Amino acid sequence: MYLITHKEKLSQTITKYVVKAPFIAPKRKAGNFVILRVEEHGERIPITIVDSDAKEGTITLIVQAIGKTTKLLATKNVGDYILDVVGPLGNPTPIENHGAVVCIGGGVGTAEMLPIAKALKKAGNSIYTIIGARSKELIILENEMKEISDKTFITTDDGSYGRKGVVTDQLKDLLDAPLGISAVYAIGPLPMMKFVSLLTKQYDVQTLVSLNAIMVDGTGMCGGCRVTIGGEMKFACVDGPEFDGHQVDFDEMLMRSRSYLAMEKISDELFTHQCQLEK
């Protein structure tokens, strides 16, 4: 049982949790994730470890409530427990001094990008950050990203904050400028990572993306997270979750990620539905 010691709303649907996990906290590296189960009979979901405090024995998770399990988690408060938290899982992000790098976070992907950007800064890189979202209310961790970035750019699809447009509009300007960008790290929705990778390929700039494949066990045994990288089958949980964006078969991944859409919809509706007779 894993105690929630802090809960904070970052946006309408995104919440930050600090959870007591004394065996995970000291081992965690940037890029690692946990697989958690909120309650008995619940599904397992992968969530990135955004931060940890080895002394306090806590880990920080930032979760967007989009379906049944993440909405169930959102009903939990300080003092409540999460049933299982397994980790740290996945390979730590390869961190090196590239010189100048662009870190791109789309939606809740910004939370997953924060520990990586911190580690890249510590390794001596100049950090150009792009935070993208559909609208202003969905921008999270702007101040935290600004603190570790040399320059931060915001884009919103509807123009309600920052530059109107998508992250690739800003990325193109940075790649065209004489900044010596030699690597791009991108985490966000699959279409965003796909188009970032297509753009950086034109500039021959190495690109790392974090694949949010459907995961179940997180240990390479169930096959749920299989992805095709450079024509070879890989498991995102044990071979990733980060891969060379130029090698990822994004179209196959997009198709696979929609496999359970109908069931997810039913499960979400059953969870959020409140019977009028029970009111």
Ligand X SMILES: Cc1cc2nc3c(=O)[nH]c(=O)nc-3n(C[C@H](O)[C@H](O)[C@H](O)COP(=O)(O)OP(=O)(O)OC[C@H]3O[C@@H](n4cnc5c(N)ncnc54)[C@H](O)[C@@H]3O)c2cc1C
Binding site for ligand FES (CB under 6 A): 215-218, 220-225, 235, 237
What is the Cα–Cα distance from 279 to 14, expressed in whole angstroms? Answer: 27
Binder of ligand X out of 32, 58, 60, 69 (CB under 6 A):
69
What is the Cα–Cα distance from 37 to 17, expressed in whole angstroms? Answer: 15
Closer CB to ligand X, residue 48 or residue 155? 48
Q: CB 237 → ligand X: shortest distance, Å?
A: 7
Residue type for position 59:
I
What is the Cα–Cα distance from 279 to 270, expressed in whole angstroms? Answer: 16
CA angle, residues 166, 214, 43, in degrees to nearest 5: 125
Among 147, 144, 101, residue whose Cα is nearest residue 126: 101
Task: Name which of residues 249 to 278 contact ligand X (CB under 6 A).
Answer: 257, 264, 268
x/- letters, 172..211, toward ligand X (CB under 6 A):
----------------------------------------
Choose the one of ligand X, ligand FES, none that binds residue 217, judging by a C-beta under 5 to 8 angstroms depending on kind: ligand FES
Closer CB to ligand X, residue 144 or residue 268? 268
Are 153 and 163 a contacting pair, CB within 8 Å? yes
Instruction: Look up residue 236 and give its two tokens.
Output: 């995102």
- Residue that the structure tokens 């910004």 belong to: 110
Which residue, judged by CB position, is nearest to ligand X in the bound state?
67
Binding flag, residue 85, ligand X (CB under 6 A): no
Q: CB 226 → ligand FES: shortest distance, Å?
A: 7
What is the Cα–Cα distance from 120 to 118, expressed in whole angstroms? Answer: 5
Counting residues that bind ligand X (by CB under 6 A) gives: 24
What is the Cα–Cα distance from 105 to 128, expressed in whole angstroms? Answer: 11
Numbers of helices and strands, H then E, in the chain: 8, 17
Binding flag, residue 32, ligand X (CB under 6 A): no
Task: Name which of residues 112 to 151 contact ligand X (CB under 6 A).
Answer: 112
Q: CB 219 → ligand X: shortest distance, Å?
A: 13
- Residue that the structure tokens 């961790």 belong to: 141
Q: CB 235 → ligand FES: shortest distance, Å?
A: 4
Binding flag, residue 84, ligand X (CB under 6 A): no
Binding flag, residue 87, ligand X (CB under 6 A): no
Closer CB to ligand X, residue 181 or residue 250? 250
* Residue 118, phi-psi category: left (phi > 0), alpha (psi -120 to 50), beta (remainder): alpha
Q: What are phi and psi of 31, to 5 degrees?
A: 100, -20
- Interface with ligand X by CB under 6 A: which residues? 33, 45-48, 62-64, 66-70, 108, 111-112, 212-215, 241, 257, 264, 268
